[in-house]
Chain A
Amino acid sequence: MQLGVVALLLSVSLNTCPCLAQPVDENEFATLHRQLDPQDETWKSIPWQTSLIAAQNLAATGGKPLFIWAMDGHPLGCT
């Protein structure tokens, strides 16, 4: 609960906060480290293959089509 409040305050006020010029302390570290974890995002629950040939093998043996998400930058990475 306390971390949630801190996260909310951080998200709305950091862009104008003079604390940006201050070192990161233990509380802010804990809050931001938790906030910046995408573990619960929906795309993480899909069993993406990262090798096209491995995916082709699965598709061939399973009789399924391939769904290819090909981007500039890895889709499971920066974009």
Chain B
Amino acid sequence: MLQEDFVPVAFDQWYHRRKQDTDGEFYRRIATQGPRSDFGQTTQGFYIASAGGELIHYNNNRGPQRIRGLMQNTLGLDNYWIAKPITDDAIDRQFDRSIPDGAIVVQVNAKVLGGYADPVNEYEQFMQAAIGCDNMWIMPVEARQLVGGSFTESLVQRIARFHLIDNTRGEPPMWRADEVTRAEISLNDDGTLHGRITLSIADGSRSYDAWLFGKLEVTEGRLTRFDIVVRGEFTGEGRWTRGAPDDPFPFAVAFRLADENDIAFSVCPQACKGHHPEYLRLASDE
């Protein structure tokens, strides 16, 4: 039903609440008709709307039966669906998170490997089994250095600070530069990577002590494999990632080159929300 009778679209509404452009204005036009019309607060949820911008249904309950019911109710309507396509002629550069020219997109997935108590309901069971998803960007100069056999420090820091995060239960906190207590990644001549990374906030209540192993391959001057696994002990949780296992718990993160046909290929790294300039920082900037 979702694929055939609707046009499904997914995005982080944090940007759309702020963007002063066509995209943001159209979102706010729809959302303001719902119960969450204060754009200084979250407006997250499921919206069913016409292409003309009329809100048909809103719900923030992720139960599949509830969502299916709203969709079925919508299909009984037939007087909303005539509208003109909107021309997207304005882009708010402040919140533009398009893939930088020439950057390589890496798919990043994280998982808690154990330690949870038995789930008390279906939702908790789902959350405990979740694989966190994100993208990482490798800048062109960093890719050239990888091809030349060097794992640049800016990439080491980007992995440590912005991708060794427990995003399996919601939006996680990133690591500040002074919370990286150790970050070493060595690239051998045969393309294998070995590393050791330890991260901790000042009081030690959130930390990650991990080992890294990976394999890179270069074909005809292009990076064709970027497979990495980081595994170690994690402690703590963030404000929006409550419900972690008791400390410490095993936690792993995997990296691989993203498929440009994947639906999430163009999604910007989560860290770009609050750390955009830092995220893009190169060794040459320091």
Contact = CB atoms under 8 A, between A and B. Distances in A.
Contact of A73 (B81, B109, B171): B171
Interface residues of B, number: 83
Contacts of B16: 52, 70
Contacts of B268: 74
Contacts of B113: 10-11, 14-15
B172 interface: yes
B275 to A, nearest CB: 14
Given A68-B30, A70-B16, A28 B8 contact: no
Given A50-B266, A63-B81, A70-B47, A23 B211 contact: yes
B133 A78 contact: yes
B207 interface: no
Contacts of B71: 67
Question: DSSP majority for the B interface?
Answer: mixed
A25 B31 CA distance: 50
Interface string B237-269: 000100001000110111010000011101110
A57 to B, nearest CB: 4
Nearest to B53: A56
B120 interface: no
Given A69-B10, A70-B11, 19 more contacts: A17-B250, A24-B211, A29-B213, A29-B214, A49-B9, A52-B16, A55-B9, A56-B86, A61-B85, A64-B5, A65-B51, A67-B46, A68-B10, A72-B12, A72-B13, A72-B44, A73-B167, A74-B264, A77-B270
Interface of A: 10-15, 17, 20-26, 28-29, 32-33, 35-38, 41, 44, 46-79
26 contacts: A15-B114, A15-B250, A25-B213, A29-B229, A32-B254, A35-B111, A44-B263, A47-B3, A49-B7, A49-B9, A50-B9, A56-B26, A60-B86, A65-B51, A67-B71, A69-B10, A69-B11, A70-B31, A72-B44, A74-B11, A75-B10, A76-B264, A77-B12, A78-B170, A78-B171, A79-B171
